[in-house]
Chain A
Amino acid sequence: MADTNDILKVENLKINFFTRKGKVYAVDDVSFSLKKGETLGLVGESGCGKTTTVLGLMKMIPPPGKITGGRILIKGEDIIPLSEDEMREKIRWEKISMVFQGAMNCLTPVYTIGKQMMETVQEHKEMEYLQAKKRIINYLNLVGLPEDIIRRYPHELSGGMKQRVVIATALFLEPEIVICDEPTTALDVVVQAQIINLIKRLKKKLGLSVIFITHDLATEAEVADRLLVMYAGKLVEIGTNEQIYGKRGPIHPYTEKLLKATPRLHEKVEELSFIPGTPPDLVDPPSGCRFHPRCLEVMEKCKKDIPSLIEVEPGHWIACWRNTND
Chain B
Amino acid sequence: MISEPILKVENLKEWFPVRRTIAQILKGERTWIKAVDGITFSINQGEIFGLVGESGCGKTTTGKLIMKLLEPSEGKIIFKGKDVTHLEADKLKEYRRNVQMVFQDPYASINPRFRAQDVLEEPLIIHQMGETRAEREKIIRRALEEVRLIPPEEFMERFPHMLSGGQRQRVATARTLVLSPSMIVADEPVSMIDLSTRAEILHMMKTVQRELGLTYLYVTHDLSTARYFTDRIAVMYLGKIVEMGGADEIIDNAFHPYTKALIAAVCEPIPGKSNTIKEVPIKGEIPSAANIPSGCRFHPRCLYVKPQCQEDEPILKEIDLGHQVACHLIS
List B contacts of A284 (CB < 8 A). none
With an 8 A cutoff between CB atoms, is A179 at the interface? Answer: no
Minimum Cβ distance to chain A for residue B193 (Å): 9
Q: How many residues on chain B are close to A (CB under 8 Å)?
A: 44
Contact B271 A272 (CB under 8 A): no
| CB of B78 closer than 8 Å to a CB of A | no
Number of interface residues of A (CB under 8 A): 52
* A 163-214 contacts with B by CB, 8 A: 188-194, 196-197, 200-201
User: Does A222 lie within 8 Å of B267, measured CB to CB?
Assistant: yes
B219-241 contacts to A (CB < 8 Å): 221-225, 227-228
CB distance B196 to A218 under 8 Å? no
Residues of A near B197 (CB, < 8 A) are 274-275, 278
Tell yes or no: A246 within 8 A of B by CB. yes
Residues of B within 8 A of A264 (CB): 224, 268-269
Residues of chain B in range 232-276 having any CB-CB distance to chain A below 8 Å? 248, 251-252, 261-275
How many Å from the CB of A168 to the closest CB on chain B?
17
Is the CB–CB distance between A45 and B195 below 8 Å? yes
Question: Which residue of A193, A215, A246 contacts B280 across the interface (Cβ within 8 Å)?
Answer: A193
Q: Is A242 an interface residue (CB 8 A)?
A: yes
A149 CB to closest chain B CB, in angstroms? 14
Q: Interface 1/0s, chain A 235-255, versus B by CB < 8 A?
A: 000000110111000000000
CB of A158 within 8 Å of the partner chain: yes
Whether B227 and A261, one on each chain, are in contact in the complex, defined by CB atoms closer than 8 angstroms, is no
* Contact in complex: B273, A197 (CB < 8 Å): no
Interface residue A15 (Cβ < 8 Å from any Cβ of B): no
Let me know if A246 and B271 touch, CB within 8 A.
yes
Most buried by A among B54, B194, B195, B262: B195
Q: Which B residues contact A (CB, under 8 angstroms)?
A: 54-55, 164, 166, 194-200, 202-203, 221-225, 227-228, 248, 251-252, 261-275, 277-278, 280, 282, 285-286
**Known interface pairs A46-B194, A241-B272; 18 further A-B residue pairs with C-beta atoms within 8 A, sorted by A's residue number:** A45-B194, A159-B55, A189-B262, A190-B54, A193-B264, A197-B277, A201-B277, A216-B195, A217-B195, A221-B271, A222-B278, A241-B273, A241-B274, A242-B271, A265-B263, A272-B199, A272-B202, A272-B203
